[in-house]
């Protein structure tokens, strides 16, 4: 593995104190411990291509989706979670690549939206699950997107439920700090169409983002990178003004190639975006949602379940029609 560079430290030291990024317990930079991003060898797109080699869509899906480094999502379907995250981080580490993992199992998940409802059976079950998740990664380099939608999904929740959720997220961040020192964790902050910047800054702070490496935007959504970058800048202005720190951010670009048509659940005519890379207006642009995986029983995915791979949707998303 390559040695960690010091350029980031030097850049941050030049910032005014009030706007400097808040320190975390993580001293290591996983992007400089590895040589590029890990492409999941067992993604839904990869499995479909392998099972359908004679399909006329297979070549395009393989080249334009299956071989692009994309996050793997972990939840109740993942079996023994520490074993699952350990195996995935280990497979990436063996190739000197940086994996992106999504923790998606919070109690009362998608409580208001409903399409991806589920999650752990109780707050205590979640605390145990996320502790094992972090322990599985251990000292290997990794990126983790923590609980997509969890801070945007407040519309139908009462204050006690919100407090409970914030406590679970704060506890999760503490587990990564304790057990996974070479992991950067991004607390998910929804997207620009969900909550105002001031509201999201408050939610991030109250959920413990100061202890995270940063925050993530646009997960499973379609808004442009420019829209997300502007929103992140506004969130950071609020964090700086209210709490005295800012945070790096990442944007899910997997399906934002031609922006949003105002729909979030399997909209027609969307296109894949900039492949996973460092920089690009954010700290990183990441494919977090696999293009072609359904958002639920809606839109062009009518009759499907959330997470199901739909080859026709994937194929059309490559070309934007």
Q: What whole-number distance in Å separates Cα of residue 296 and Cα of residue 303?
A: 8
Q: What whole-number distance in Å separates Cα of residue 56 and Cα of residue 59?
A: 7
- Please, is 47 exposed, middle or buried when counting C-beta atoms within 10 Å of its C-beta (0-12, 13-18, 19+)? middle
**Binding residue per annotation — 73?**
yes
Q: What whole-number distance in Å separates Cα of residue 189 and Cα of residue 210?
A: 13
**Binding residue per annotation — 48?**
no
Q: What whole-number distance in Å separates Cα of residue 19 and Cα of residue 244?
A: 6
Q: Who's near 170: CB < 8 A, 6+ residues apart?
A: 207, 208, 211
Q: Is the separation of the CB atoms in 255 and 317 below 8 Å?
A: yes
Q: What are the residue numbers of the active site?
A: 149, 295
Angle at 227 between CA 222 and CA 233, to 5 degrees: 130
C-beta pairs of 164-168 under 8 Å, 24+ apart in sequence: 164/107, 164/123, 165/106, 165/107, 165/108, 165/207, 166/203, 166/206, 166/207, 166/208, 167/123, 168/106, 168/107, 168/123, 168/126, 168/127, 168/130
**Binding residue per annotation — 194?**
yes
- Residue 103's SS3 state is strand
- Residue 216's SS3 state is strand
The H or E element that residue 186 is part of is strand 183-188
Q: What whole-number distance in Å separates Cα of residue 55 and Cα of residue 47?
A: 13
**Binding residue per annotation — 221?**
yes
Binding-site residues, in ranges, read 73, 194, 221, 264, 289, 293
Binding-site residues for substrate, in ranges, read 73, 194, 221, 264, 289, 293
């Amino acid at each position: 593995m390559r040695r960690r560079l010091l350029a980031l430290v030097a850049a941050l030291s030049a910032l005014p104190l009030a706007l400097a990024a808040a320190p975390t317990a993580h001293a290591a930079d996983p992007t400089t411990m590895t040589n590029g991003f890990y492409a999941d060898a067992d993604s839904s797109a990869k499995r479909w291509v392998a099972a359908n080699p004679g399909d006329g869509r297979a070549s395009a899906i393989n080249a334009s989706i299956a071989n692009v480094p994309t996050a793997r999502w972990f939840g109740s379907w993942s079996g023994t979670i520490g074993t699952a995250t350990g195996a995935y981080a280990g497979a990436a580490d063996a190739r000197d690549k940086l994996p992106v993992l999504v923790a998606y199992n919070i109690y009362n998940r998608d409580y208001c939206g409903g399409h991806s409802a589920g999650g752990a059976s109780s707050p205590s079950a979640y605390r145990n699950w996320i502790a094992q998740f972090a322990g599985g990664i251990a000292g290997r380099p990794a990126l983790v997107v923590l609980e997509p939608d969890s801070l945007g999904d407040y519309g139908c929740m009462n204050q006690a439920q919100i407090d409970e959720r914030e406590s679970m997220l704060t506890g999760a961040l503490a587990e990564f700090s304790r057990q996974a020192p070479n992991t950067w964790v991004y607390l998910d902050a929804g997207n620009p169409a969900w909550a105002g910047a001031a509201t999201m800054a408050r939610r991030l702070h109250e959920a413990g983002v100061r202890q995270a490496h940063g925050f993530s935007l646009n997960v499973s959504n379609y808004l442009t990178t420019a829209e997300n970058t502007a929103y992140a800048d506004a969130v950071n202005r609020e964090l700086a003004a209210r709490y005295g720190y800012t945070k790096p951010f990442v944007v899910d670009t997997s399906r934002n190639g031609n922006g949003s048509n105002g729909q979030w659940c399997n909209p027609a005519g969307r296109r894949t975006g900039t492949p996973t890379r460092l920089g690009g207006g954010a700290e990183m642009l990441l494919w977090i949602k696999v293009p072609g995986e359904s958002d639920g029983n809606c839109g062009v995915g009518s009759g499907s379940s959330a997470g199901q791979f739909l080859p026709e949707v994937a194929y059309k998303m490559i070309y934007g029609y």
